[in-house]
């Protein structure tokens, strides 16, 4: 839903474009949702002047022809900030070299700015195209009027309107005055480009910020600065829900540069995005704040979550998974089939908590003054920053002005703005701008962790070795526990991530979910529940192939079964997308499976001793992916990942090199969580603190070679940031089985002794 207005004469974008520029406002929400904005008042503070103050602006062309396009979603490495404006530029027929991108502030009139769930392009592809095409038509119209020729005889050619008959040509810059006086054309009048006419869509562009990044000039959340600001470091309760009993408020002040020691209130359940509580040390520089913190000597009242110890919790989860649970999907009757006494295979799988560990830890700078809060946050969700700060410091949401610098990674962590709230609370208390910097130790220990999960799988095999019945259960403390204290069951959204939407051709199927209580904060993490669900389902599929003595790829293809669209009720909630537009089409899953196998040389390559290949195929975020991993296990039990071949069908792809890069990265991210990453708790305290304990893949451990094969498709665009992750771990585990005969039923793989 979008509405476009010509706002050229309202003085918007002052300080960015000159008077007389052509400015289009594109609103993505229905009119009723817009409120009045106090735009002038946002222009006061330093460094705000250059930024965009009008949240409904998507597009402006200045008199010198420079096209300004607003990026309204956060940039954390997936090129949202480049790829969305690129779509506008394509339909505008603009010269990318003359495009400038302005980052939006948080404002609900943009529609969703929550940059997660791999849906930036999916959700805004059409609005961006319409915005660009509207601008183009108005420039054409302005030219036609100026030249007194019919509009239909004019066309555009890279930042210019041309009239071939009279051999006339005008740069966009020369047409803005005319265009700025025109009424906005109706949507029916627009002519969107045919895919064959696209200049940028499908070809892509490197990140707008690449040169700034490579020269150290790019500004990340960590790099923001205000005159007179203090740096804060916070000692959080080691156990979730813990409270401060006492602390030394004098000793930290002895440290040179330390200015304040301030307690932060503990949260009221549910914790949502509230600060965890604890004690903050504020200083003139980051180092002094860190040093002061060491002198706090806090004693804590840990509360009930101090009972949380991962080893015991794991046993509970596994027990629960062995019991009948809540039914999430049922086809036929698995019990009848299991009662028949044929061949039955059972297996249990387990995957631990994970920490996002983006390279830049959580960081935010806030300046509370005169009833407003200016905040620069490394955030995936600036509107949530507004809402959460508004609640915490008692100012209206629209008085929280959130700017979004570049993010040094996010992976879902930075959708949760507790650290930005901390900065606002401390700024209010001190009357100074405050930058809250989380140490790596804070980041790893106080994350919204990826959920630990236990799964139980059971299948009966028929004459031909194919399953006649399939039962699967998963048990995990749900993300819902962050919002509803005591929530223990997964919802359709969790289970619809690779579990209840299992696409296999099964006459009898039951999918169940059991309850699990959270004891740490649980949050979404790149590809979310798909990680453990794909691990369970794709490992088990491979176990069955071996039990049936059949080739893994052929068996997987047989499970996927004949080409068909799954009934809607089987695939819902389908990542919130309309089923008619994004049906679950098993032909696309089959195709990526075949391509990955073929490109990997499945069954054709001679593999030496200790070598094996494994496959997994999984649809997530509406994208179909299959991965083949070729790995070697040495006699010492070391795993070497030699080659990864991933086939991807993500529908229409705007920026192919972004897709490749995201999927290469997913293989590395997948290596980390498959091979060594693990978060555990003892007595409620997280045991890992930094990268010597929470291991992530380094260059010498990453796949030696990752090849990405993009399936050409004209289907609507789907996700790219997350879908590469889920199939990686099971494909690697299946390769290890092929190499050694050892089945991995627990992640990370480092827990299993693989030496010969």
Partner 1 sequence: MIRLKVNGADRTYDGDPDMPLLWYLRDELGLTGTKYGCGMGLCGACTVHVNGKAVRSCSTSMSTASGKNVTTIEAIATRGLHPVQSAWIETNVPQCGYCQSGQIMQAVALLNGNKKPTDGDIDEIMSGNICRCGTYQRIRAAIKAAAKETA
Query: Which one, 472 or 707, has the nearer CB to partner 1?
Result: 707
Helix spans in 466-515 (H): 492-495
Residue 672 phi/psi, 5° resolution? -55, -55
706 binds, among ligand FES, partner 1, none (CB under 5 to 8 A by kind): partner 1
Query: Which one, 661 or 680, has the nearer CB to ligand FES?
Result: 661
Q: How far is CA 657 from the centre of its chain?
A: 18
Nearest alpha carbon to residue 475 among 611, 621, 322, 599: 322
Residue 232 phi/psi, 5° resolution? -120, 140
Q: Counting Cβ atoms within 10 Å, is residue 245 exposed (0-12), middle (13-18) or buried (19+)?
A: exposed
562 binds, among ligand FES, partner 1, none (CB under 5 to 8 A by kind): none
Q: Which of 1, 211, 359, 484 binds ligand FES (CB under 6 A)?
A: 359
681 binds, among partner 1, ligand FES, none (CB under 5 to 8 A by kind): none
Tell me if 441 contacts ligand FES by CB under 6 A: no
Tell me if 357 contacts partner 1 by CB under 8 A: yes
Tell me if 729 contacts partner 1 by CB under 8 A: no
333 binds, among partner 1, ligand FES, none (CB under 5 to 8 A by kind): none
Query: Which one, 447 or 585, has the nearer CB to partner 1?
Result: 447
546 three-state secondary structure: helix
Tell me if 631 contacts partner 1 by CB under 8 A: no
d(CA 291, CA 294): 5
Query: Which one, 405 or 730, has the nearer CB to ligand FES?
Result: 405
Q: How far is CA 200 from the centre of its chain?
A: 24
* Site map 591..620 versus partner 1, x via CB under 8 A: ------------------------------
Q: Give me the least distance between CB of 111 and partner 1, in Å please.
A: 24
Is beta strand 611-620 parallel, antiparallel or unpaired with respect to 400-403? unpaired
Max Cα–Cα distance, the chain, nearest Å:
85
Query: Which one, 362 or 503, has the nearer CB to ligand FES?
Result: 362
Q: Which of 91, 102, 337, 360 binds partner 1 (CB under 8 A)?
A: 360
Helix spans in 641-727 (H): 656-675
Q: Within 10 A of 290 (CB to CB), how many other CB atoms are there? A: 17
* Site map 689..728 versus partner 1, x via CB under 8 A: -xxx---xxxxxxxx-xx----------------------
Tell me if 257 contacts partner 1 by CB under 8 A: yes
Nearest alpha carbon to residue 736 among 723, 755, 714: 755
Tell me if 5 contacts partner 1 by CB under 8 A: no
Upstream peptide bond of 152 is cis (omega within 30 degrees of 0): no
d(CA 365, CA 232): 10
Residue 229 phi/psi, 5° resolution? -80, 155
d(CA 497, CA 478): 13
CA distances from 107 to 53, 130, 338, 399, 403 (A): 10, 21, 55, 11, 10
**Which 237-256 positions form the footprint of partner 1 (CB under 8 A)?**
256
Number of residues engaging partner 1 in binding (CB under 8 A) = 66
Q: Which of 153, 171, 657, 687 binds partner 1 (CB under 8 A)?
A: 657
Number of residues engaging ligand FES in binding (CB under 6 A) = 3
Upstream peptide bond of 270 is cis (omega within 30 degrees of 0): yes
* Site map 192..221 versus partner 1, x via CB under 8 A: --------------xx-xxx-xxxxxxxx-
DSSP state of 64: T
Q: Give me the least distance between CB of 693 and ligand FES, in Å please.
A: 14
* Nearby residues of 214 by Cβ (< 8 Å), 6 or more positions away: none
699 binds, among partner 1, ligand FES, none (CB under 5 to 8 A by kind): partner 1
Q: Give me the least distance between CB of 701 and ligand FES, in Å please.
A: 15
Q: Which two tokens stand for residue 605?
A: 């390559």
280 binds, among ligand FES, partner 1, none (CB under 5 to 8 A by kind): none
667 binds, among partner 1, ligand FES, none (CB under 5 to 8 A by kind): partner 1
d(CA 40, CA 54): 10
Q: Give me the least distance between CB of 359 and ligand FES, in Å please.
A: 4
- Contact segment (CB under 8 A) with partner 1 among 166-174, 282-290, 466-474, 712-720 equals 282-290
Question: Does residue 522 contact residue 272 with C-beta atoms inside 8 Å?
Answer: no
Tell me if 291 contacts partner 1 by CB under 8 A: yes
Q: What is the DSSP string of 326-379?
A: EEEEEES-HHHHHTT--EEEEEEEEE-BB----SSPPEEEEEEETTEEEEEE--
DSSP state of 484: S
Q: Give me the least distance between CB of 224 and ligand FES, in Å please.
A: 18
Q: Give me the least distance between CB of 663 and ligand FES, in Å please.
A: 15
Question: Does residue 62 contact residue 216 with C-beta atoms inside 8 Å?
Answer: no
- State which H helix or E strand residue 403 sits in: strand 400-403
Q: Which of 55, 77, 325, 352 binds ligand FES (CB under 6 A)?
A: 77
Question: Does residue 513 contact residue 490 with C-beta atoms inside 8 Å?
Answer: yes
d(CA 426, CA 368): 9
* Site map 57..96 versus partner 1, x via CB under 8 A: ------------------xxxx------------------
Q: Which of 18, 164, 197, 285 binds partner 1 (CB under 8 A)?
A: 285
Residue of this chain nearest to ligand FES (CB atom): 359
Tell me if 379 contacts partner 1 by CB under 8 A: no
d(CA 51, CA 271): 33
Query: Which one, 409 or 493, has the nearer CB to ligand FES?
Result: 409
DSSP state of 95: -
Tell me if 524 contacts partner 1 by CB under 8 A: no
Tokens 């979008």 -> residue: 2
Tokens 């669209």 -> residue: 565
Q: Give me the least distance between CB of 691 and ligand FES, in Å please.
A: 8
Tell me if 294 contacts partner 1 by CB under 8 A: no
Query: Which one, 456 or 728, has the nearer CB to partner 1?
Result: 728
Q: Which two tokens stand for residue 21?
A: 């520029």
Query: Which one, 355 or 387, has the nearer CB to ligand FES?
Result: 355
Q: Which of 409, 492, 561, 656 binds ligand FES (CB under 6 A)?
A: 409
DSSP state of 187: G
Query: Which one, 392 or 667, has the nearer CB to partner 1?
Result: 667
Query: Which one, 77 or 490, has the nearer CB to ligand FES?
Result: 77
Query: Which one, 36 or 699, has the nearer CB to partner 1?
Result: 699
**Which 25-54 positions form the footprint of ligand FES (CB under 6 A)?**
none
Question: Does residue 718 contact residue 523 with C-beta atoms inside 8 Å?
Answer: no
Torsion of CA 522, 528, 530, 532, to 10 degrees: -40
Binding site for partner 1 (CB under 8 A): 75-78, 206-207, 209-211, 213-220, 222-223, 225, 231, 256-257, 285-288, 290-291, 357-361, 406-411, 437, 439-440, 657, 661-662, 664-669, 671, 690-692, 696-703, 705-706
Binding site for ligand FES (CB under 6 A): 77, 359, 409
């Amino acid at each position: 839903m979008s509405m476009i207005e010509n706002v050229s004469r309202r003085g918007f974008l002052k300080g960015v474009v000159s008077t007389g520029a052509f400015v289009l406002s594109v609103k993505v929400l229905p009119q009723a949702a817009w409120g009045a904005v106090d735009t002038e008042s946002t222009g006061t503070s330093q460094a705000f002047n250059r930024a965009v103050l009008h949240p409904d602006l998507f597009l402006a062309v200045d008199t010198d022809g420079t096209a300004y396009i607003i990026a309204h979603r956060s940039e954390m490495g997936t090129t949202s900030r480049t790829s969305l404006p690129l779509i506008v530029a394509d339909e505008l027929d603009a010269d990318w070299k003359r495009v400038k991108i302005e980052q939006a502030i948080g404002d609900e009139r943009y529609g969703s700015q929550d940059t997660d769930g791999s849906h930036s392009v999916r959700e805004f592809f059409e609005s961006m195209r319409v915005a660009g095409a509207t601008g183009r038509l108005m420039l054409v119209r302005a030219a036609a009027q100026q030249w007194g020729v019919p509009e239909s005889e004019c066309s555009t050619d890279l930042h210019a309107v041309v009239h071939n008959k009279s051999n006339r040509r005008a740069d966009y810059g020369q047409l803005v005055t005319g265009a700025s006086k025109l009424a906005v054309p109706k949507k029916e009048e627009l002519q969107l480009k045919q895919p064959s006419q696209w200049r940028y869509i499908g070809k892509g562009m490197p990140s707008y910020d690449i040169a700034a990044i490579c020269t150290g000039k790019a500004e990340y959340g960590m790099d923001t600065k205000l005159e007179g600001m203090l740096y804060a470091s916070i000692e959080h309760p080691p156990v979730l829900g813990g409270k401060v009993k006492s602390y030394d408020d004098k000793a930290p002040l002895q440290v040179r540069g330390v200015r304040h020691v301030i307690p932060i209130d503990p949260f009221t359940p549910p914790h949502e995005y509230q600060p965890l509580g604890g004690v903050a040390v504020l200083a003139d520089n980051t180092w002094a704040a860190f040093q002061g913190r060491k002198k706090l000597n806090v004693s804590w009242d840990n509360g009930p979550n101090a009972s949380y110890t991962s080893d015991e919790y794991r046993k509970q989860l596994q027990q629960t998974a062995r019991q009948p649970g809540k039914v999430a999907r049922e086809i036929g009757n698995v019990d009848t089939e299991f009662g028949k006494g044929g061949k039955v295979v059972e297996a249990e799988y387990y995957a631990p908590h994970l920490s996002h560990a983006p390279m830049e830890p959580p960081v935010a700078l806030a300046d509370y003054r005169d009833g407003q809060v200016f905040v620069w946050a490394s955030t995936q969700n600036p509107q949530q920053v507004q809402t959460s700060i508004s609640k915490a410091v008692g100012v209206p949401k629209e008085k929280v002005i959130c700017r979004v610098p570049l993010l040094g990674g996010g992976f879902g962590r930075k959708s949760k703005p507790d650290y930005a709230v901390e900065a606002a609370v401390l700024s209010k208390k001190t009357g100074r701008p405050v930058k809250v910097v989380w140490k790596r130790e804070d980041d790893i220990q106080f994350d919204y962790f990826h959920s630990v999960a236990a799964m139980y799988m059971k299948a009966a095999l028929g004459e031909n070795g194919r399953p006649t019945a399939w039962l699967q259960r998963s048990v995990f403390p749900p993300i819902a526990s962050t919002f509803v204290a005591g929530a223990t069951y997964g919802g359709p959204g969790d289970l619809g991530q690779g579990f209840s939407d299992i696409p296999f051709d099964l006459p009898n199927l039951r999918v169940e979910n059991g309850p699990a209580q959270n004891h740490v904060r649980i949050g979404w993490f790149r590809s979310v529940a798909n990680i453990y669900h794909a691990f369970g389902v794709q490992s088990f599929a491979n176990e069955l192939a071996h039990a049936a003595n059949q080739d893994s790829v052929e068996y997987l293809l047989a499970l996927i079964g004949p080409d068909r669209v799954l009934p809607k009720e089987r695939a819902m909630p389908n990542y919130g997308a309309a089923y008619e537009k994004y049906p679950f089409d098993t032909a696309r899953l089959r195709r990526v499976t075949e391509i990955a196998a073929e490109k990997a040389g499945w069954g054709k390559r001679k593999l030496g001793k200790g070598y094996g290949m494994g496959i997994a195929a999984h649809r997530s975020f509406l994208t179909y992916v299959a991965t083949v991993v070729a790995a070697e296990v040495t006699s010492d039990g070391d795993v070497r990942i030699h080659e990864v071949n991933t086939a991807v069908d993500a529908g229409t792809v705007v920026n192919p090199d972004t897709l490749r890069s995201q999927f290469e990265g997913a293989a590395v991210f997948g290596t980390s969580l498959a091979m060594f990453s693990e978060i555990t708790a003892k007595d409620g305290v997280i045991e890992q603190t930094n990268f010597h304990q929470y291991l992530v893949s380094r260059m010498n451990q990453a796949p030696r070679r990752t090849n990405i094969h993009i399936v050409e498709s004209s289907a609507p665009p789907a996700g790219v940031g997350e879908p590469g992750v889920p199939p990686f771990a099971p494909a690697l585990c299946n390769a290890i089985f092929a190499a050694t005969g050892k089945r991995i039923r627990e992640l990370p793989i480092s827990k299993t002794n693989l030496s010969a």
